[in-house]
Homo-oligomer: A and B are copies of this chain.
Amino acid sequence: MSRVTIREVARHAGVSYQTVSRVINNSPEVAEETRAQVQRTIDALDYHPNAQAVSLSRNRSNIIGVIVDRAGDAFWGPIVDGASQALTKHGRFMLLTETDHLEQPTAIAELLRSRRLDGMILALPLATSLEQVRQLAIERLPLVIIDLQYPIDVDHIAIDNLSGAYAATEHLIQLGHRRIGLICGPDILPVSQSRLEGYRAALSDYGLVYDPELVVPGEFRLASGIVGAEQLLALAKPPTAIFTGDDLMAIGAMRVFAQRGLRVPQDISIIGFDDIEYAQYTHPPLTTIRQPLYRMGYMAGAHICNTIDGTAKQLRVTLMPELIVRESTARLTF
């Protein structure tokens, strides 16, 4: 670690430390000749400003905190990637904390207390401490929330889950399906509820009755997809198509189909939600509802930076998910 300080550079260059500071910060009020001279000494000594010191005196760190359940997740991963790209593009650094390893309120408090953040991105499906989130906003820390579906007056990027679920259900209906199973997400998540609503709305709009036995609970895990699919197939009148609350459960369901010799999509159709990377890799490739995960992360990152720079104000976005038709859904032929 070079321990060269700004005063040392000044001494070597025969100027004052303030002049060196001016050169570093590209201040115009320095003579060309002096600038060149100082720059030469900076290079020669391999001087680099101490970020801690800069942060302290500027009261700005160029670090954005990102809180996410698990970054290595198929769902959150692309969001983190997007945020990362936006941040580096804006010259910021990303301090990543996963709530998987720390209680969520603790993690937030921990990160905040450190008081070295210029802003914060919360990528969470559920706020265990909504009060704390609200507090963040009050403290006027630039903040963007991703995927947290609460009526909270904070910058956020959300997905219209209801529309997405509606589109998925409608797609199946239009393919001729009448008995459509649903494997839900966890009740506590607002996301799950919206998707259930979308499902019901589509049924209703197309004059189909809502049959509670076609709706089974799940937990956004592969295993839930297996259990859920088995439960649905065990019905006296099993569904001819299944909509799952996320792609992972769709994959689980497909495994059950394969084991029972059911062909997708000839014998049964299936549609997921999210369009995680793996959805392209399933056999057959999974029809699903795409959330633009990477873009959501990118938007959040860019907006945080713009807020800090004063070039952006509010961000209240609800993105429309998109139906991606692959090969796991087909017209009902029997």
Please report A residues at the B interface, Cβ cutoff 8 Å.
1, 48-53, 55-56, 59, 61, 63, 70-74, 76-81, 84-85, 88-89, 93-98, 100-102, 107, 111, 113-116, 139-141, 222, 251, 254-255, 258, 277-278, 280-283
- Distance of A79 Cα from B77 Cα, bound (Å): 12
Q: Could you list some 30 contacts between A and B, CB below 8 A?
A: A1-B115, A1-B139, A48-B113, A51-B115, A51-B116, A52-B52, A52-B116, A53-B56, A55-B116, A56-B56, A71-B77, A71-B96, A72-B76, A72-B77, A72-B81, A74-B278, A84-B98, A85-B98, A85-B100, A85-B101, A88-B98, A88-B101, A88-B102, A93-B97, A93-B114, A95-B95, A222-B280, A255-B283, A278-B278, A282-B283
Interchain CB contact under 8 A, A97 and B88: yes
Q: How near does chain B come to A13, taking the closest CB pair, in angstroms? A: 20
Interchain CB contact under 8 A, B278 and A258: no
Name the residue in A63, A115, A140, A258 with the highest tally of chain B Cβ atoms < 10 Å from its Cβ: A115
A51-B115, A73-B77 known; 14 other A-B pairs, CB under 8 Å? A48-B115, A52-B52, A52-B56, A52-B59, A52-B115, A72-B72, A72-B78, A72-B79, A72-B80, A74-B277, A80-B96, A88-B102, A222-B280, A258-B283
Q: How near does chain B come to A225, taking the closest CB pair, in angstroms? A: 10
A53 / chain B contacts, CB cutoff of 8 Å? 56
- Distance of A90 Cα from B76 Cα, bound (Å): 24
Interchain CB contact under 8 A, B93 and A94: no
A278 / chain B contacts, CB cutoff of 8 Å? 74, 278, 281
Closest to A99 in B: B88
- Distance of A113 Cα from B63 Cα, bound (Å): 15
- Distance of A140 Cα from B76 Cα, bound (Å): 34
- Distance of A27 Cα from B141 Cα, bound (Å): 32
A114 / chain B contacts, CB cutoff of 8 Å? 51, 93
- Distance of A51 Cα from B70 Cα, bound (Å): 25
- Distance of A51 Cα from B95 Cα, bound (Å): 14
- Distance of A96 Cα from B79 Cα, bound (Å): 14
Closest 7 CB pairs of A and B: A72-B77, A72-B81, A52-B56, A51-B114, A51-B116, A85-B101, A52-B55
Closest to A50 in B: B115
A93 / chain B contacts, CB cutoff of 8 Å? 95, 97, 111, 114
- Distance of A15 Cα from B98 Cα, bound (Å): 39
Interchain CB contact under 8 A, B56 and A251: no
Name the residue in A52, A59, A78, A278 with the highest tally of chain B Cβ atoms < 10 Å from its Cβ: A52
A115 / chain B contacts, CB cutoff of 8 Å? 1, 48-52
- Distance of A282 Cα from B255 Cα, bound (Å): 8
- Distance of A278 Cα from B254 Cα, bound (Å): 14
- Distance of A101 Cα from B294 Cα, bound (Å): 13
- Distance of A79 Cα from B113 Cα, bound (Å): 27
- Distance of A59 Cα from B111 Cα, bound (Å): 19
Closest to A248 in B: B281
